[in-house]
């Protein structure tokens, strides 16, 4: 028997799944921050002042740039595959966090009004299903493990490359 998608129990399942999704996204972004800090041999103050305030897009771009400069083509491809998937997950997270929560007109089920992609102007209601949110969480946790497993590919960069950090007048 199908569950009543307008019931409080069903909406509580969605709320719980959204909360778990926020925590998983936060953990993934934290691991991305720590990965960059580890690769660049940053101390805690440097990590907190330079990397932590960056948006996830900037962190992914930086990681890709490091990978391009220091890894083999195959390793670079592996890293960019992971970062591309993290970028897509971050976009989905943004849709869920910044979307407007509504009820679908047809069946009054829970939905989020997304303004991403083709729906940028008008918005498009996307149904929320606890199962789909839980699968997204599984994917986030998998991406977190993939990111961690890619760290040994990177050399530890002890010193900035020549030219980095010099004054413009030099």
Backbone torsions φ then ψ of 127, nearest 5 degrees: -60, 145
**pTM for this predicted structure:** 0.84
Q: Provide the pLDDT for residue 111.
A: 79
Q: Provide the pLDDT for residue 165.
A: 45
The alpha carbon dihedral of 65, 67, 73, 77 has a sign of negative
Shortest CA distance to 141 belongs to which of 89, 98, 99, 97?
89
Q: Provide the pLDDT for residue 167.
A: 47
Whether the Cβ atoms of residue 116 and residue 4 lie closer than 8 Å to each other: no
The pLDDT averaged over each successive group of 10 residues in the chain (170 residues) is 71 92 97 96 93 96 95 97 97 87 76 68 76 96 97 87 50
In order of 69, 98, 130, the CA distances from 105 in angstroms are 51, 20, 19
């Amino acid at each position: 028997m199908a569950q009543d998608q307008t019931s409080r129990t069903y909406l509580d399942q969605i709320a719980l799944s959204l909360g778990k999704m926020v925590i998983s996204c936060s953990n993934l972004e934290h691991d991305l921050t720590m990965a960059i800090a580890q690769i660049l041999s940053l101390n805690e103050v440097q990590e907190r002042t330079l990397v932590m305030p960056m948006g996830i897009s900037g962190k992914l771009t930086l990681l890709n740039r490091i990978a391009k400069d220091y890894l083999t083509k195959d390793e670079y491809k592996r890293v960019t595959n992971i970062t591309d998937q993290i970028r897509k997950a971050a976009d989905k997270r943004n849709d869920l966090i910044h979307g407007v929560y509504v009820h679908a007109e047809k069946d009054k089920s829970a939905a989020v009004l997304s303004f991403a992609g083709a729906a940028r102007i008008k918005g498009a209601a996307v149904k929320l299903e606890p199962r789909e949110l839980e699968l997204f969480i599984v994917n986030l946790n998998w991406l977190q493990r993939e990111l961690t497993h890619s760290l040994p590919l990177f050399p530890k960069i002890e010193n900035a490359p020549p030219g980095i950090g010099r004054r413009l007048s030099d």
